Structure 1
Amino acid sequence: MPNHTLTRRRTLSLTGSTITAGLAGCVTNGTDQLTNNGNTDEDETGASQDDSDGDHDHEVEHTLGHPEEHIEVRMESDDETHHFVPHAVHVELGGTVTWMLDSGVHDTVAYHPENASILPSASDQRIPDGTDPWASEIYDTEGESFEMTFEEEGIYDYTCTITGHGHRGGGHHGGHQSHESTGMVGRVIVGDPDLDPDEQPAMRPPSSELPEAARHELEQFNDQTRDALNDH
């Protein structure tokens, strides 16, 4: 992936009680980009490589069950499909995730009732109890990024709220599906969380209020998370 000049970068720290935010200067990503030619839905390590319909190929390598200190997630659009790449990532407690815009118009918004004003389906909470949700700005320039440091162990699900021509909201906008409706959802696993659904809302079956494609992806995340963490 080529280096890009970052025009905006928003940095947050997520804890059990507060989120602090600020603007940072122009930086470059300090992690190496790993590639893999696998085209399967899930590889033998539990890493998500591609969707089951085979319509797209994400050349990434990330193994759930082996948390990293920092991970970059690309936000991509290709024709009518939209994706976070990798879909599911695993960071250490206190680890950082950077969402980098690669193509299209995107944001990253946690599933939590406090975000329901911009994402109606966010009323289905899918982050740990007692943690505050995040909602990034809308990014439309390649290389823009949003960064979060996760200080609470747990599982965090999120989506992109964009519809139509760069608008926010659920369902359809101007005849266009939301990116969530196409299955653009993601997961961050932090540390070594208890997988009991009573402890981790993200491990519960997704609500019927969510779009079908999003539900399908989240169900796959749950299977991959159980396989990876139970074997770890």
Structure 2
Amino acid sequence: MNDLTRRNAIKLGAASGIAAIAGCLSDRFGDTGTSGDGDGTIGNPADEVVVDVVSTPNPAFESRLVHVNPGGTVTWDVKGHRHTVTAYHPDTYGPQRIPDGAEPWGSGTLSGNRDFEWTFEQEGIYDYTDTRTLCATHESLGAVGRVVVGWPDLEGQPATEHDDLELPGRASTVIQEIDNEMRAVLTEE
């Protein structure tokens, strides 16, 4: 073996060792944007979840369906222009689509690079929207989302008992998609 080949073999071995160690450490200490045992996707609740609020191509929440443990916090991080994060509740906006007795929230208008967080103490299903209006309401363009807290009974929740057609425009379609996605996972559990 000549020097060049020996050096390459040593480099390859060292790189492989470092990659193996890094892989082990990332599984243990990796940053997923969430904390807790799960990743915040439906069926895998987390203690903290971040939802991006975007403006293009249309106003939307990414991810529009998240799952947190009771006492978990969702942070909405505004990436675009002006948005709101508002619970569906007669005290804040629209019909009640959060659990009975739960406190409704409204962020007020948030400009780009600002965030809003809310801690969910009560188990249940919480629907929310962006109430901002430009040419049309962000809600009617489909800017709606859902937070599932804990492992609630799907029956008797205001979010699942309401007629989705009471929501305007694309919001109705998006909330139906979210509901189907949630039920596909939570009814398997």
Please report the TM-score for the alignment, with normalisation by the length of structure 1: 0.63
The two structures, once aligned, show a CA RMSD in angstroms of 1.9
Greater Rg over alpha carbons, structure:
2
- 2:117 matched to 1:147? yes
Distance in 2 separating the partners of 1:87 and 1:209 = 19
Distance in 1 separating the partners of 2:165 and 2:157 = 18
Task: Return the offset for 1:225.
Answer: 1.4
In structure 2, the residue matched to 1:74 is 52
Residue identity in the other structure for 2:50: E
Residue aligned with 1:216, SS:
helix
Residue aligned with 2:177, SS:
helix
Consecutive unaligned residues of structure 2, counting only runs of 5 or more, are 1-30
Q: Is the 8 A contact 1:206 1:219 kept in 2?
A: no
In structure 1, the residue matched to 2:3 is none
Deviations 1:159-194 (A, max 9, x none): 001111xxxxxxxxxxx1110010000000000000
CA pair 33-207 structure 1, distance change in 2 beyond 3 A:
closer
Residue aligned with 2:119, SS:
strand
Task: Return the offset for 1:207.
Answer: 4.8
Q: Is the 8 A contact 2:126 2:146 kept in 1?
A: yes
In structure 2, the residue matched to 1:109 is 86
Please report the TM-score for the alignment, with normalisation by the length of structure 2: 0.77
Task: Return the offset for 1:96.
Answer: 0.7
In structure 2, the residue matched to 1:32 is 32
Q: Is the 8 A contact 1:206 1:218 kept in 2?
A: no
Q: Is the 8 A contact 1:74 1:85 kept in 2?
A: yes
In structure 2, the residue matched to 1:186 is 145
Residue aligned with 2:125, SS:
strand
Task: Return the offset for 1:33.
Answer: 4.2
Q: Is the 8 A contact 2:40 2:48 kept in 1?
A: no
In structure 2, the residue matched to 1:201 is 158
Identical columns (%): 42
Q: Which has the higher contact order (CA 8 A, sep 6+)?
A: 1
Task: Return the offset for 1:205.
Answer: 4.2
In structure 1, the residue matched to 2:178 is 221
Task: Report 1:8-157 matches (<5 A).
Answer: 32-33=32-33, 63-79=41-57, 81-116=58-93, 122=94, 124-142=95-113, 144-157=114-127
Higher strand share: 1
Task: Report 1:162-173 matches (<5 A).
Answer: 162-164=132-134
Distance in 2 separating the partners of 1:74 and 1:113 = 25
Distance in 1 separating the partners of 2:172 and 2:161 = 11
Task: Return the offset for 1:77.
Answer: 0.6
Consecutive unaligned residues of structure 1, counting only runs of 5 or more, are 1-30, 35-60, 117-121, 165-175
Deviations 1:16-37 (A, max 9, x none): xxxxxxxxxxxxxxx5349xxx
Higher helix share: 2
CA pair 75-179 structure 1, distance change in 2 beyond 3 A:
same
